[in-house]
Structure 1
Amino acid sequence: MLNALRLPRTRAAASALPRDTRDTLFVLGVIAWVVALQAAHIPWWTTALTAVVLAWRARLALRAAPLPGWPWRLGLLLLTLGATFASHGTLLGQEAGVTLVVVLLALKTLELRARRDAFVVFFLAFFTLLTHFFYSQSLLTAAGILVALLGLLTALVNAHMPVGRPPLAQAARIAAGMALMGAPIMLVLFLLFPRMAPLWGTPNTDPSGRSGLSDEMRVGEIAELALDDSIALRVRFDDPRPPPAGLLYFRGPVLGSFDGRQWRPLESGFPRERRLTAQLRPRGEPVGYEVTMEPNRRPWVFVLEAATAAPELPGGNRVRMSEALQWTAQRPINSLVRYRAQSHLDFGHGPVQAQIGLQDYLQLPPGFNPRTLQLAQEMRRQHGPGPAAAPALVNAALERLRTGGYRYTLEPGVYGRHTADEFWFDRKAGFCEHIASGFAVLMRAMDIPARVVTGYQGGDTNTVDGYWTVRQRDAHAWTEVWLQGQGWVRVDPTGAVFPGRIGSVQRLQAPAAGFAGAFAGALGNLNPTLVARLRATWEAVNNAWNQWVLDYTQGSQLELLRALGFASPSWQDLATVLLGVVIGASLLGALWALWERQQHDPWLRLLRRARQRLARLGVASDERTPPRELAQRLKAQLGDGPAVQGLADWLLRLEAQRYARDSGSTLAQLRQEFRRLAWPVRRRA
C-alpha cells in the first residue's frame, strides 16, 4: 500500500521539476547505468569517485545551484590522474585508459551548462559504452549496453526538442524508432563488414581458490575450493549419442617437474634428438565433434584424448602438439573460438621400451616426504623390483586409496611442507590435485615414471540444444605412469577415492554463504526440475548467441558468399557485395524519401498546385497566403465572371475542408473538381 501511494507522489514531484532539472537528472541516471556496467572491471575508487560526482551534480540540479568553478574541476582532474597512475603504474594502455574515460565522463557533468556541453557528454558516454566490449561480449553485457544505448538516444533526441516541455516518453519512442530503422544497416554491416583483429588485445596468496586450470599446480596451499560454475567448453558430437562421461578427458597442461610443493611443465635437459616423442598409436574408430571454447587468455586448445590431427583455429592461429600430447596455439585464446576435431578414445602413446628421457619423470626433490619414500620401499619389497612389477605396484596403490579411508573433499585445509606424507598418512583427504600429486610422488618413489595431467573431465548434456557443457568446476587432475611394453597409461586415482567424481554422475557442492547462500536457498524451495529447465534454457540462449554472433568470423563471411553463389569467394567479392548492398540501400532510401515527400500533407500539395496555376493568371501569392485570400485576389484581378466565381468557390471549399468541422467535401472530391475547373483567361493590359 505504501508503494502504491509513493508512486503517484514521485510522478507528481517529477512533473513539478523544471525541464532543465528533469533532463539533467535523466542524463545523470543514464551515465550512472553506463558506469555501473563497468564497475566490475575498474578500480573501486573509480566507482566511488564517479558516484560522488554524479550525486553532487544531481544535488546542484535539484537546488538550481551554480556549478563548481575551475579550481574544483582542476583539483578533481589532478586527483584522478594521480590515482590512475597509482593503480596502473601508467596513464597509457587499455586499463588506465578505461579508468580515465569513466572518471572524465563523470567530471564533464560538472560543466554541463549548455546544449553543446550535453552533446559532448552524450558522445563521451557512447565511447564509454564501447569499452565494455574490452572485457565481455556476453548476452547480458549486450542487453545492458542496449538499455544504455536507448537511454542515450532518448537524451539526445530530447536535447533536439528545445521548445516547451516534451515528455521523455515521446523522446523514447522516437529513439526506439531510430534504433529499429538502423537495425537493418547494423545487420548488413555485421554480416559483410570485413572481420578485423582487435586493436588490444599477480600470484594468489589467499588460502582459498576457485576451480579452473593453470599452467602450474600448487599442492596444499588452497584450504577451500569453490566450484566455478562458468562454462569452459561446449561440445557438439557428430553422433547424437555421445560417449560415456567417464571417457571424456579433455587434455590440458602436462606437468612433469616437482619441487616439493609445485608442479610445473617439464623442461628437459636432454638434447632434442634424445627427448621423448609423442608416438601416438590410435585404436578403434575416431569420435568427431565440434568445440566452442570460451576465451582463457592462454594458448591451450582442449581436445579429447587423443586427437591425431590439429584443430583449425580462425585467424591463422596455428596449433601444434607437444610430445606430451598437449595442443597449444601460437597465440593466446583471447576470444571465443570454434573448431572441429576427431579423437580416438582408445589409444596408446609414448615409447614402449625404456629410454633415457624417462629419467626426467623419476626426479623427486631431496628432503621432502620421507614417510612416502619409506612406503614406496615397503611396497617394492612386497611386490618385487623391476619394470615387470610396475602394474602390480600401481594396482596396490589404487587399492590403498580404495580401502584406506581416504576422502574427496573441497575443504582439506592448508598442507605443510610434506604434502604427500600428509595426504597418505595424516589427513587422508583432499581434492583431485592432492590425490594426483600424492599418487605421482609415490609412483616416482617406486621408480615408476609418472607425471600429472590437468584438463577437464566429464560434463553435462544441455537438454534444450543438445550441447555437451564442460564447466570450470569440471577441471581435473589425473596421472600418467609409464609401463614397459605399454607406454604412458592414464591412471585417475581420484576415481579410486571418489568414483562419483569421474563423469557426471555425482558432484560435490561448494558451501555457499551470505547472499549466494540465501539465493541458493530460495532456488532450492522451487521445483528442482523447473530450475534445471530454466538454467538449461538460459545456457542454450547464450550458446546460440556465441554460435551466431560472437563466433561469426572471417570464415563465416566467406561461407555466406558461397551460399550466395560465389564458387571461390575472396575479399574482393566481399567488398563487391558490400558495395552493392550500400548502393542498393541508398537507392531505396532515395525512393523512400521521394515517396514520403509525395505523401507529405496532400492538402498543402493541392493548394500549392492551385497557387502555381493562379500565378500564371497574374495572381501573386506566397506560402503564407490562405485560400480565402487567394479567392479575394482572384476576383480583384480578374473580375466576377462565371469561371472566376467557380474557382473562388472551390478555394473556399478547400479552406473549409481543412478547418471547418463539417465541410461536406472530401479531399479526393476537391482534387477531382480541380482537374475539371474552367480556368479564366488572364486579362491583357
Structure 2
Amino acid sequence: MLNAPANAAAAPRPSWRARLQHLPRDTRDTLFLLVVIGWVILPQVGNLPMWCVALAAGVLLWRGWLALNNKPLPSRWWLAGLLLITMAATWASHRTLLGRDAGVTLVVVLMALKTLELRARRDALVVFFLGFFAMLTNFFYSQSLLTAAAMVIALLGLLTALVNAHRPVGQPSLRESAAMAGKMALAGAPVMLALFVFFPRFAPLWGLPSDALTGKSGLSSRMEVGSMAQLALDERVALRVKFEGAPPPQSQLYFRGPVLSQFDGRNWTANAGGESLGATTFAPGPADLQVRGAPIRYQMTIEPSQQPWLLTLDVAPKSPELPEGRRARMTADMQWLTYRPITDLLRYSAESYADFRYGLKGWDGRARPNLREYLRLPPGLNPRTQALADQLRTQLGDADAMAYVRAALERLRTGGYTYTLEPGVYGQNTADQFWFDTKEGFCEHIASAFVVLMRGAGVPARIVTGFQGGELNGVDGYWTVRNADAHAWAEVWTAERGWVRVDPTGAVSPGRVGQFQRLRAPDGVVAGALGTLSPTLLAQLRATWEAVNNSWNQWVLNYTQSSQFDLMQKLGFSSPSWEDLVKILAGLLVVGAVGGMVWARWERSQQDPWLRLLHTARQRLAQAGIATAPQAPPRELMRAVAESDLPPELRADLAAWLQALERQRYAPAGNGGAAASLATLAREFQQMAWPRPERPAPT
C-alpha cells in the first residue's frame, strides 16, 4: 500500500477577501460597524488625549478579534473597570468631566466600550446614535470642507449599519443596505437644505463656542526678532480678498496688523496705551487722518485667529462692515480691532485709500503728538549701531527725516545684505549683528535693525506687522494671502507728512515687495514629483482646491443672518425679519406635508404587484364569505378555501391558483420550470367562475 508523502502540498489558504465573503452575518455586520466607528473617531485623533486614542483603538481591535474568532464578549466587570479607568483618565487630562474637550473624550471612549456589549439590537442602536453624536463633535474643532466630506461618508456608513440592523432575516448584502441608506440621505437632503437656508440664526448664539477654533494667523502683539521666519514656512491661508474693480499693485498690498513700539533689545511689543484685550479698552483713533484719491473697495474673509485684529488694506478710515452682533474700533495707530476675538471665519467689507496722511497732531487734534516713546532704546545695547547713527547725524546734520531714511536704505542696497530664512542665531545686540556681522536676515531682522538705527539718529520710528502681497487665484478671482506672507515693515515720523511707511526689506530684496518673490520651504515628495512632471500642474491643482474651499467658506461657513436677509430681499421681502423666516419655514412644512401625502398615495398605487394581487384575492374571498387575516399568506388562504362551502371545482381551481401564486414569489424556478407570470395569474383569477351572491327574496 502506497502512503502519501509526508510533505504533500497543503491546500491553499483562502484569501482575506474570500474569508470576508463567507463570514457569518453577525461577524460581518460587527466588523463593518467597527470600521465605521473608527472612521468617525479618526479626525479627532489630534484633539483627543493619547490615552483616549490608544484605548479606543485597542477596544475596537479587541472587539474585531472577538468577532472574527467567535469568542464570548467580556463580562460586565471588565466593562466596569474600563469605565472607571476612563473616568479617572478624563479627570486627570481635563480636570473636569464637563465641557467640550472632556465631553468629546467621554463620548469617544464610551462609544468604543459599548461595542463590547453588542448582545441585542438595542445595544446596536445605542452605538449607532452615539456614533451620530460623535460624528457631530468633529465640527467642534473643524468645519473645513475635508471634515464635512469625511462626515458625509461617516453618515452613510452609520445609516448603512442602521438599515442592516433592521433587516434581521437572511444575509442582505452591504451594497443593498448602502443603496437604501443613500436613498434615505437623498430623501432628507431637501429638508436639511431648507433648514440650513431658512432656520433663523440668532447671533451671537448661532455658531461655535468662543474656544472652538485655535489661532492660525500667527501674528501677535509681540515680535521676537527671528520669529516671523517660522511663519514663512506656513502655507496655510490667513485671509482672502475680493476687490471691486481693478486691484492695486502687489507692491501696495499691505494689510495692517499690530503696531509695535516698545523694544527691549530682542522683543518688540505693542504700545501700552493701545488695546487691552482683557479689559476691551481702546485708544482713540487719529484725529488728523486725511485721505486722497479713489477708494479701494473689497471684501475680506479672514481665518480664525483668536485675536481681535481686523486686518485691512492700509489704510481704512471707516469701520469695516461687519456681520450682525460685531463692532469695531480704530486705535491711534490706525489699527482696527473688534470687541471680542475672532474665533470663527469672518467676512466683512472695507474701504481703503492708498494715499493717506496722519500723525501730525495729537489725540485731541491740536497738540503735537508725544514722540518720546518712538525714540526710546534699551541702554547699553547695540553700541555699533548707535555709533553708525551718530555718524549719520554728523554727516546729515539738520536734514529732514527722509534724508536719514534714504541713507539707511542706500546702505541696505549696496552693503551686501541678504534676505534669507536662515540668518543664524542672533544674540542680545540684534541690530549690531545684522548691520556689521551676519548682514543677512528675514523681514523682522531688517525692519528691527532699521528702526533701531532711525531711533539712534533721532528719527521717531516703529514697526508695523501684518501681511504683504498675495496670489490671485484665477479660478475664483480671489486674492489669497497666506501665513507665509506675514511681513514686518517700518513707519517713520516726519514733520511734513506725519507717519510714513518705509519697507527696508524692499531695499535688500526688491522682489519680495515689488514682484512678490517670497522665500518658500522646499516642496514635499509628492509636490516635488508633480512639479517635476509639470511645473504648472501643482499650481493649477492648488488653485482649484483653494477655490472650492473658498466657495465652501463663503456660502456655507459664512452663511449668516445678514446673508439670510439678503436672500429674502431677493425673494421679495422688503424688510425681512426672523418672523418672516418662521413663516417661510411653516409654509415649507405645509408644502412638505402635502407632498408627503401625495407621495404616500402614489407609492401605495405602485406597491408590490404580487402583494396587490394577493390583496385582491383576499378581498374576493371576503366577498364570498371567507374571512381571513389581513396578513394571511397564500397557504393560509388555501386552508380557508378548502374549509369553505364554495363549489368543488372552484375550490380546486383556487387551491391550484394560490399554490402557483406562492411558487411565483418563493420558488420562481422550482418544480423543473419557470413560474407563471403575475399577468397570467391575474388573468386566470379574473376568469374563475365565482358563484353569484344570492339576492334576498322580495317581501
TM-score normalised over the length of structure 1: 0.88
Aligned pair 1:442/2:453, yes or no?
Answer: yes
Kept in 2: contact 1:224–1:413 (CA 8 A):
no
Q: 1:224 to 1:561 in 2, by over 3 A?
A: closer
Does residue 1:563 correspond to 2:587, yes or no? no
1:466-481 pair list within 5 angstroms? 466-481=477-492
Structure 2 residues not aligned, in runs of 5+? 1-11, 211-215, 275-280, 665-673
Q: Deviations over 1:80-108 (max 9, x none)?
A: 33433333343332222222322222222
Cα shift readout 1:567-623 (whole Å, capped 9, x = no counterpart): 111111100000110121112112211221222134544554554455345344444
Displacement of 1:337 in angstroms is 1.7
- 1:379 paired with 2:392, answer yes
In the alignment, which residue of structure 1 is the partner of 2:534?
Answer: 527
Q: CA contact under 8 A between 2:218 and 2:231: conserved in structure 1? A: no
Residue aligning to 1:594: 601
Q: Could you tell me how far apart the structure 2 residues matched to 1:598 and 1:185 are? A: 25
- AA partner of residue 16 (structure 1): H
Q: Does 1:236 align with 2:242?
A: yes
Structure 2 residue 257 is the aligned partner of structure 1 residue 252 = yes
Matched, 1:491 2:488: no
Cα drift, residue 526 of structure 1: 2.0
Say if 1:591 and 1:286 are closer, same or farther in 2 by CA, change over 3 A: same
Tell me if 1:261 matches 2:274: no
SS for the counterpart of 1:451 is strand
Shift of 1:212: 3.4
Report what 1:323 is aligned to: 332
User: Is 1:653–1:663's contact at 8 Å kept on the other side of the alignment?
Assistant: no
Kept in 1: contact 2:140–2:208 (CA 8 A): no
Say what the alpha-carbon RMSD is for the aligned residues: 3.2
In structure 2, the CA distance between the partners of 1:480 and 1:150, relative to structure 1 (3 Å rule), is: same
Pick closer, same or farther for the CA change 1:229–1:665 going to 2, 3 Å: closer
Q: Quick check: 472-481 or 60-69, which moved more?
A: 60-69
Task: Report the more deviating stretch, 374-383 or 352-361.
Answer: 352-361
- Give 2:86's aligned residue: 80
1:285 counterpart residue number: 294
- Residue 173 of structure 2 corresponds to residue 160 of structure 1: no
Alpha-carbon distance between aligned partners in 1 of 2:326 and 2:612, rounded to the nearest angstrom: 63
Q: Contact conserved, 1:304 with 1:343, CA < 8 A, in 2? A: yes
1:120 aligns with: 126
Map of 2:135 onto structure 1: 129
Provide the residue aligned with 1:294 in structure 2. 303
Check the 8 A contact 2:361/2:369 in 1, yes or no. no
In structure 1, the partner of 2:582 is: 575
Q: What TM-score do you get using the length of structure 2 for normalisation?
A: 0.87
C-alpha separation in 2, matches of 1:119 and 1:332: 41
For the structure 1 residues 186 and 364, does the alpha-carbon distance in structure 2 shift closer, same or farther, using more than 3 Å as the test? same
**Residue deviations 1:641-668 (CA, integer Å, cap 9, x gap):** xxx97x9979977986885757699379
TM-superposed CA distance for 1:458, in Å, is: 0.4
CA contact (8 A) 2:60 2:115 kept: yes
Greater mean alpha carbon deviation, residues 279-288 or residues 38-47: 38-47
Q: Distance in 2 between matches of 1:563 and 1:677?
A: 67
Which residue of the other structure, out of 495, 505, 508, is the alignment partner of 2:516? Answer: 505
User: Which residue, out of 183, 193, 213, partners 2:219?
Assistant: 213
Larger mean CA deviation between 542-551 and 483-492 belongs to 542-551
C-alpha displacement of 1:432: 0.8
Worse overlay, 100-109 or 600-609? 600-609
**Cα 1:79–1:368 shift into 2, 3 Å:** farther
| 1:502 to 1:578, Cα distance in 2 relative to 1, 3 A | same
The change in CA–CA distance for 1:619 and 1:50 in structure 2 (over 3 A counts) is: closer
| 1:589 counterpart SS class | helix
The one-letter amino acid paired with 1:451 is R
User: Which residue identity is paired with 1:260?
Assistant: G
Task: Kindly report which structure 2 residues correspond to 1:631-650, keeping only aligned pairs within 5 A, or say none.
Answer: 637=645
Quick check: 569-578 or 210-219, which moved more? 210-219
Offset at 1:250?
0.7
**Residue 480 of structure 1: how far off its partner (Å):** 0.4
Output the CA distance in 2 between the equivalents of 1:273 and 1:430: 34
Q: Could you list the per-position Cα deviations for residues 3-46 of structure 1 after superposition, in whole angstroms to 9, with x for gaps in the alignment?
A: xxx99822211123222222222121111111111112223332
Q: 1:238 and 1:253 mapped to 2: Cα distance?
A: 26
How far apart are residue 380 of structure 1 and its match?
0.5
Q: Does 1:409 align with 2:416?
A: no
Partner residue, 2:15? 9
Query: Using the alignment, how far apart are the partners of 2:283 and 2:617 within structure 1?
Result: 100
Q: Is 2:32–2:161's contact at 8 Å kept on the other side of the alignment? A: yes
2:371 is paired with a residue whose SS is helix
C-alpha change, 1:657 and 1:502, in structure 2 (3 Å) is: same
Indicate how the Cα distance of structure 1 residues 417 and 603 shifts in structure 2: closer, same or farther if over 3 A, else same.
closer
Q: The residue matched to 1:163 in structure 2 has which SS? A: coil
CA distance in 1 between counterparts of 2:349 and 2:93 reads 42
How far is 1:448 from its partner? Answer: 1.1
Distance 2:317 2:228 in 1: 36
Which string of whole-angstrom CA distances, capped at 9 and with x for unpartnered residues, describes residues 418-454 of structure 1?
1111111111111111111111111111111111101
**Cα separation, partners in 2 of 1:345 and 1:53, compared to 1, 3 Å:** same
Q: Which letter does structure 1 place at the counterpart of 2:201?
A: R
Number of aligned residue pairs: give it.
658
1:368 equivalent in structure 2:
381
Distance 1:176 1:442, change over 3 A: same
SS at match of 2:15: helix
Distance 1:342 1:273 in 2: 21
Find the counterpart in structure 2 of residue 188 from structure 1: 194
Structure 2 Cα separation of the partners of residues 352 and 670 of structure 1: 101
Sequence identity (%)? 57
CA contact (8 A) 1:631 1:648 kept: no
Q: Cα 1:663–1:96, aligned 2, differ >3 Å: closer, same or farther?
A: closer
Partner of 2:5 in structure 1?
none
Contact between 1:621 and 1:630, CA under 8 Å: does it hold in 2?
Answer: no
Work out whether residues 617 and 682 of structure 1, in 8 Å CA contact, stay in contact via their aligned partners in 2. no
- Matching residue's letter, 2:693: V
Decide whether the 8 Å contact of 1:237 with 1:290 is kept in 2. Answer: yes
Shift in Å at residue 673 of structure 1?
5.6
User: Aligned pair in 2 of structure 1 residues 391, 337: CA closer, same or farther (>3 Å)?
Assistant: same
Aligned partners of 2:634 and 2:662 also within 8 Å: no
Match of 1:458 in 2: 469
Structure 1 counterpart SS, 2:242: strand
Q: Select which of 49, 55, 71 maps to 2:61.
A: 55
Match of 1:176 among 143, 167, 182: 182
Question: Which residue of structure 1 aligns with residue 152 of structure 2?
Answer: 146
CA distance in 1 between counterparts of 2:533 and 2:299 reads 35
1:181–1:504 Cα change, 3 Å? farther
State the partner residue of 1:346: 355
| SS in structure 1 of the partner of residue 400 of structure 2 | helix
**Preserved contact between residue 408 and residue 429 of structure 1 (Cα < 8 Å):** yes
Task: Encode CA deviations 1:133-191: one digit per residue, 9 max, x unaligned.
Answer: 11111111111111111111111111112222222222111111111111111111111
Q: Secondary structure at the match of 1:314?
A: coil
Report the 3-state secondary structure (helix = DSSP H, G, I; strand = E; otherwise coil) of the residue aligned with 1:357. coil
1:49 to partner: Cα distance: 2.5
Change (3 A) 1:340 1:9: same
Asked whether the 8 Å contact 1:126–1:149 carries over to 2, the reply is: yes
Q: Which moved more, 1:62-71 or 1:583-592?
A: 62-71
- Cα contact 1:154–1:175 (8 A) shared by 2: yes
Q: Is the 8 A contact 2:308 2:339 kept in 1?
A: yes
Q: Secondary structure at the match of 1:481?
A: strand
Alignment of 1:624-663 (within 5 A): 624=632, 626=634, 637=645, 661=674
411, 426, 430: which one aligns with 2:441: 430
Counterpart AA for 1:433: E
- Tell me if structure 1 keeps the 8 A contact 2:288–2:361: no
Q: Give the distance between the partners of 2:258 and 2:371, measured in 1 at CA.
A: 18
